[in-house]
Amino acid sequence: MKKLLCILSLIPFGFFSNCGSQEQPNGGKAGVSSPQKISAVQAKAIMDEGKPYTLLDVRTEDEYKEGHIRGAVLIPVDELQTHAEKELPDKNAFILVYCRSGARSARAAKTLAGMGYTGIHDFGGIIDWPYETVKN
């Protein structure tokens, strides 16, 4: 009876909530890295540092041809599951992700994190990119 009372007295303090849960504070699964949200200014500073990075455009091919950031690799968000591992073989690489407005880049960042990529930095949309772009 004493053990039962002891256990019941711990319940209000949350000692048994999430018991056995694999969920992490970031809302992801155990061992999954969360993407970082950064600004266009921060992304440009990273690009100018000279350290290695991969710039990933997740828009459509037509959008990419209309204008993209120099050096960007195109993998449309809907093709990430099938093309990322071939095009982005280093899952620990520093990856800067963008799209048009930020919705697809956020989705892509979460997808990549779920695939085991650890260095993902989402800087939103090209519409907020105040720097040079190029056309194909």
Catalytic residue among 58, 84, 95, 99: 99
Residue written as token pair 């120099």: 70
Phi/psi-derived region of residue 105, left when phi > 0, alpha when psi is between -120 and 50, beta in every other case: alpha
Active site residue 99: yes
Q: Give the span between the Cα atoms of 90 and 79, in whole angstroms.
A: 18
63 φ, ψ (degrees, to nearest 5): -65, -40
Q: Give the span between the Cα atoms of 126 and 71, in whole angstroms.
A: 14
3-state class (DSSP) for residue 61 = helix
Query: E strands along the chain, which residues?
Result: 36-37, 54-57, 73-74, 94-99, 119-125
Q: Catalytic amino acids?
A: 99
